[in-house]
Amino acid sequence: MQRSRNDRIAREKITLKRRARRFTILIFGIGVCLLCLYTIWDLFDRAQLDQEAAYDKSSNTSIEQPTSQVESDVDDNIDAQTPTTEIEVMPEQNPSEQINLAFVGDIMMGANVDKLLQKHGYDYPYLHISSILQDADITAGNMENPITDRGEAIEDKSYVFRTSPMAIPDLVKSGFDVFNLANNHTLDYGLVGLQDTIRLLREAGLYGVGAGMNQEEAYEPVIIEKNGVRVAYIGLTKVVPDVSWKADKNIPGLAETYNYTRPIKAIQSASEVSDMVVVIVHWGIEGETEARIDERELAHRYIDAGADLVIGSHPHVLQAIESYKGKWIAYSLGNFIFTTNGKSGTNESVIIQASCSKLGDCKLNVVPVLAEYAQPKLMEDEAAKVIFQHLTDISYFAEVREDGSVHPLIAESTQ
């Protein structure tokens, strides 16, 4: 019995040794296979690298070559007069990824303007100017009134405006795309006027920014993509008749910028999901040709937060253009469609044309406009030159040349 038990234990030990030996052989075999595969892959990879290096050498386009070597290769090809390849300097971005933006000043289509529209037709304001608006990929302006035929005018306000929904089709045809609704007239006809404005614009394929049914909607950017460039538009106002006009968590209203904290967050968020950010802001003092210090500080904060262009409105007269950290600020473009009130400078306006890259770098051009009787027209050459010089005189670190192009000065603003 004891011997039988010992034999069984001995057999089990032998079996265990055999299993251990087989497992060791299996592991060793797997290791050998992996080593073989790695060796084959390494040889293949080296062959690919050798082939690419040989190709680069034959075509003189190796990205490892220093500039002097590239120039030497070009000279060799010229001397041989039989170049087989052409050295091409690749651009940093696709040239087609450029976008042309246009901006106009205040648009007020109520009161006496509405009478002109009813008399002459709703296309009346654009008869002399629509081609410029249409040439841009995106055209934006400040809509200085609600678009509605409902509601009651609010009380205790000196001026209340609105325009008929019948104006919408010609707004579309004229070339407009985006309107800032953050200003001191959007709620002239209360909540119903605001709701109608947002709805009518949306139904027509147009965009309104700076207003909404709550704070989140009011500060939410509109993002439009053209030519592979995503542009975010944000609307803000530093002019409201009453604190109740300010949008809050559950309160309809406007995106205000008396406190810069919320606007800065909106700009930062927009810059994360777009190629460039445009801020259209309603601010300043009516009739004042000089931007105030607090507006300049706000504009700088916007750009520091990620804005690429800042376009202002509300003073009804032209104000400075500023170059700041390679970006542009236009503090006021004056009136675009407005009644003629006889006040000095209120009929002088400009259209800002911005040709921008996907990186948010923009070249600016100024188109002077005579804005009389709600029908803007291009200024004559001599009058335009006066506007160019005026803007140069009042601007910060920028000059407007006789062709309308805007250029930063050497001592560009960085503070």
More confident call, 399 vs 21 = 399
CA distance 147 to 145: 7
Average pLDDT over residues 272-278: 98
pLDDT at 357 exceeding the cut of 90 = yes
What is the distance of C-alpha 294 from the center of its chain? 23
pLDDT: is 350 or 415 the higher one? 350
Q: What is the pLDDT of residues 377-405, one digit of tens each?
A: 999 999 999 999 999 999 999 999 999 99
Quick one: which of 129, 124, 212, 119 has its CA closest to 176?
A: 129
pLDDT band at 73 (very low <50, low <70, confident <90, very high): very low
* pLDDT of 285 higher than 60: yes
Least confident residue range of 55-64, 156-165, 220-229, 290-299: 55-64
The residues, any chain, with a CB within 8 Å of residue 172's CB and separated by 6 or more, are 204, 205, 206
Place of tokens 């490892």: 64
At 55 the pLDDT is 36
CA angle, residues 88, 89, 95, in degrees to nearest 5: 105
- Report the pLDDT value the prediction gives residue 36, as an integer from 0 to 100: 61
Return the residue matching tokens 């325009």.
Answer: 163
Average pLDDT on 15-35 reads 69
Mention every residue, 6+ apart, whose C-beta is less than 8 A from residue 360. Answer: 275, 276, 277, 308, 327
Question: How many Cα atoms are found within 13 Å in the side-chain-facing hemisphere of 24?
Answer: 6
Please name the helix (run of DSSP H) or strand (run of DSSP E) that holds residue 203, with its range, or none. helix 190-203
Instruction: State the Cα–Cα distance between residues 379 and 371, nearest whole angstrom.
Output: 9
Query: Residue type for 77, please?
Result: N
Q: What is the spatial distance between Cα 309 and Cα 51, in angstroms, rounded to a whole number?
A: 48
Helix/strand number for the chain, H first, E second: 10, 18
DSSP state of 331: -
Q: Is 70 exceeded by the pLDDT of residue 157?
A: yes
Q: What is the pLDDT of residues 27-49, one digit of tens each?
A: 776 766 666 665 565 554 454 44
The tokens 């609010």 sit on which residue?
154
Question: Which pLDDT tens digit goes with each residue over 248-273?
Answer: 999 999 999 999 999 999 999 999 99
Q: What's the rounded mean pLDDT across residues 159-178?
A: 97
Binned at pLDDT 50, 70 and 90, residue 54 comes out as: very low
Backbone angles phi, psi at 333, to 5 degrees: -95, 0
Closest CA to 312 of 237, 379, 258: 237
What is the enclosing helix (H) or strand (E) of 171?
A: helix 168-174
**Tens-digit pLDDT profile for residues 198-237:** 999 999 999 999 999 999 999 999 999 999 999 999 999 9
